[in-house]
Amino acid sequence: MAQFPAGLRRGGEHEWVRSGEGGATARIGITAAAAADLGDVVRVELPTVGSEVVAGDACGEPESTSTALEVHSPLTGVASAVNEAAAAAPETICSSPYDEGWLFEVESDEAQGSDGPPDHAGPTGSQSVATGPLR
């Protein structure tokens, strides 16, 4: 299994999770390996802020010039923010997958979680942009 930066845990096959202070909000992104496989990302679809996301269900999709990757939410909850900067400059997803290239945030009772992958069950709505810093 790939090593992640401190404070991250694996959130699925291609996803990572960073819990926010207090544990109610988690930031989600894709791994460096997944970003490298994508190549030059030219567009990203993200969940709509306020929409429910369900663990294991697809809720986002970075697209490169040759392929796309379905991003599955590692947690069930409500999409509380999306990364506007990554939507405006999708290449950030590949150049900084663990920092500036995060995708969306979820408010969830599951946000604190363990170091292992969360259980997947099964989002609604998509958009390309919205807001916010991890609280």
pLDDT at 116: 41
The average confidence (pLDDT) of the chain is: 82
Q: Could you write out the three-class secondary structure of 10-55?
A: ECCCCEEEEECCCCCEEEEEECHHHHHHHCCEEEEEECCCCCEECC
Q: What number is the average pLDDT over the span 93-107?
A: 96
Whether the pLDDT of residue 72 is over 80: the answer is yes
Neighbours of 56 (CB within 10 A): 18
pLDDT single digits (tens) 28-38? 999 999 999 99
Which H or E run includes 92? helix 92-95
Neighbours of 8 (CB within 10 A): 17
pLDDT at 2: 52
Edge-to-edge, what's the strand order for the sheet holding 41-45?
41-45, 58-64, 71-72
Confidence category of residue 113, pLDDT binned at 50, 70, 90: low
Percent of the chain with pLDDT over 70: 79
